[in-house]
Amino acid sequence: MAILKREETQTRSAVPTAPSAEKAAISILLQNYEVLDAAKWDADLFFEHANRALLSAAKECHNEGYKSDIFRLQAVLEEKGMIFDVGGYHGVTEAFTAYPTGDAVAALDFRKDLLKARRYRKAMAKLNESKDDIREMRADLNGIAQHLADSDEEQIGALSLKQQCTELLNELEKTTQPERFHTGITGLDEKLNGGFERGTLAVFASETSGGKSIALLQTALHGAINAKTGIIFSLEMSALQVICRLVASKSGWRCVSAYENPNKQHLAGIQNGIAEISALPITIHDQVSDIDTIESICRQQKRTGLDWIVVDYIQLCSPSADSKSETREQQVSEVVRRLKLMALHLNVCVLTASQLNDKGELRESRGIGHHADYVLHIDHANHPDSEIRLMKNRNGERHVSAPVLMQGGISRFVDRVKTK
């Protein structure tokens, strides 16, 4: 019984072969001198190394003017140090006698099967080469883009300690409140000292269907209403679904189709919501899912103006094409780290979401909580006692909560008055 290493098993299953045709053809070739002489039998017709070794021995016998038999083949293979490549002396005997009734006609029929398998192998090899070229090209382009971006950042951000201290004094002397990104939930914004800051990464976390996307889009909507430009990367919903949620959140009317026969007031509310949403500085991408492309799009947009980014959600975002992360936890951590660096380098607020596991912990990676500046757990969104807990706040109070009520039909959270 042959024991294959894991990579060998994967290779065999992926490469087109014709094992039965190889076995029969090599048996006929070993027995029939005239068949070997009559047709062109190249070694690459055979996928199995043992069959190639047997063919080489048969050709050597033929070139020396001998008819190949079991003992002569064994001697040639032993002399060439290849006897164990074919399974030893028993392997030669087994291959020789595998197809005792074959002739030249049968051999040529089997050769057609071998030719077809070889064509498939060559086509697959070219396809794999193309994939490798594409991967290498993509990695090169990402490297160039990163180098150019780093160069720009070095020129912009390379300040001396004295210059940085001067900037700090200027910030401290400002009498106006620093720019914040509001969530639209008064109680939560108070806990956040006004909202999220630039250069930070905020993560809304909940169980499945727990209001993550609603919280993200509500915060994005308030940013856009305040004339802040943003991009939404929707990895779960289509752009049309995202727009419907934004319209509902803005207008207070659930998005419905004509066949649901909305009344005039409802229809007018939706139309007004669409008009207001269409004027906001928001771009929506629903065909992008890898962090390299997300970063590239954001860097380009920053040149003309970019204040906030939404990525919905972390677990659906793919790592870099040339990522060396082996485990799922490492891949998720890499994605979150890249989002945090985007927030810092582009001086924007990055909003994203994560699922919670059955234990109420951030799913698939502890790195989410490590890299994020804010982590907000949405608890029991569909329950009357729902709340958003501020589990991490790098620049302020944490382990505090804001009571909320999720209005799923119109895609928004509102403040909930606690009852005694």
Domain end, chosen from 79, 102, 123, is at 123
Confirm whether 174 is domain-assigned: no
Confirm whether 113 is domain-assigned: yes
Q: Please, which residues bridge with residue 365 across strands?
A: none
Instruction: Please say whether the beta carbons of 232 and 349 come within 8 A.
Output: no
- For strands 387-393 and 400-407, give the pairing: antiparallel
pLDDT for the residue 355: 84
List the chain pLDDT tens, one digit each, 420 residues.
323 333 333 334 445 567 777 788 778 777 775 566 545 677 777 888 888 888 788 888 777 777 777 888 888 888 888 888 878 888 888 888 877 666 666 777 777 777 877 777 777 777 666 655 666 666 656 655 555 555 444 444 455 666 666 766 666 555 555 678 888 888 898 888 888 988 999 999 888 888 888 889 989 888 888 878 899 998 888 888 888 888 888 888 887 665 566 778 888 888 888 888 888 888 999 888 888 889 989 998 898 899 999 998 788 888 877 777 778 888 888 888 889 989 988 999 999 988 887 777 777 667 788 888 999 998 877 788 888 989 888 877 888 888 888 888 888 888 887 655
- CA 364 – CA 331 distance, rounded (Å): 9
Same domain, 275 and 410: yes
Same domain, 110 and 211: no
- CA 289 – CA 306 distance, rounded (Å): 20
The CATH number of the domain holding residue 302 is 3.40.50.300
- CA 286 – CA 242 distance, rounded (Å): 9
Query: Which residue type does 417 have?
Result: V
The CATH number of the domain holding residue 101 is 1.10.860.10
Indicate the number of domains in the chain: 2
Same domain, 110 and 191: no
pLDDT for the residue 202: 93
Q: Which domain holds residue 247?
A: 180-415
- CA 330 – CA 319 distance, rounded (Å): 9
Same domain, 115 and 185: no
Confirm whether 189 is domain-assigned: yes
- CA 203 – CA 235 distance, rounded (Å): 15
Domain end, chosen from 105, 123, 141, is at 123
- CA 317 – CA 233 distance, rounded (Å): 10
Confirm whether 148 is domain-assigned: no
H/E/C letters for each residue in 43-95?
HHHCCCHHHHHHHHHHHHHHHCCCCCCHHHHHHHHHHCCCHHHHCHHHHHHHH
pTM beyond 0.75? no
- CA 311 – CA 204 distance, rounded (Å): 11
Same domain, 233 and 339: yes
Confirm whether 307 is domain-assigned: yes
Q: Which residues of 137-161 are buried (b: 16+ CB within 10 A; e: fewer)?
A: ebeeebeeeeeebeeeeeeeeeeee
Cβ neighbours of residue 78 closer than 8 Å, sequence gap 6 or more: none
Domain end, chosen from 87, 106, 123, is at 123
Burial class (CB in 10 A: 0-12, 13-18, 19+), 264: exposed
Same domain, 86 and 197: no
Same domain, 116 and 188: no
Angle separating helix axes 49-63 and 19-31, nearest 10 degrees: 20
Same domain, 64 and 184: no
How is 235-304 classified by DSSP, letter by letter? Answer: SSS-HHHHHHHHHHHHHSS----GGG---HHHHHHHHHHHHHHHTSSEEEESS--BHHHHHHHHHHHHTT
Same domain, 106 and 189: no
Backbone angles phi, psi at 41, to 5 degrees: -115, 100
Give the CA distances from residue 392 to residues 158, 245, 312, 395, in Å, rounded to whole numbers and listed in that order: 30, 27, 20, 9
**For the chain, the helix, strand and coil percentages under 3-state DSSP, each to the nearest 5:** 55, 15, 30
Same domain, 216 and 283: yes
pLDDT for the residue 152: 47
Same domain, 299 and 405: yes
Same domain, 221 and 113: no
Confirm whether 241 is domain-assigned: yes
Confirm whether 420 is domain-assigned: no
How is 306-323 classified by DSSP, letter by letter? Answer: --EEEEE-GGG-B--TT-
pLDDT for the residue 395: 77
Dmax (CA) for the chain in angstroms is: 104
pLDDT for the residue 12: 41
pLDDT for the residue 155: 46
- CA 346 – CA 338 distance, rounded (Å): 12
Instruction: Please say whether the beta carbons of 349 and 204 come within 8 A.
Output: no
Confirm whether 129 is domain-assigned: no
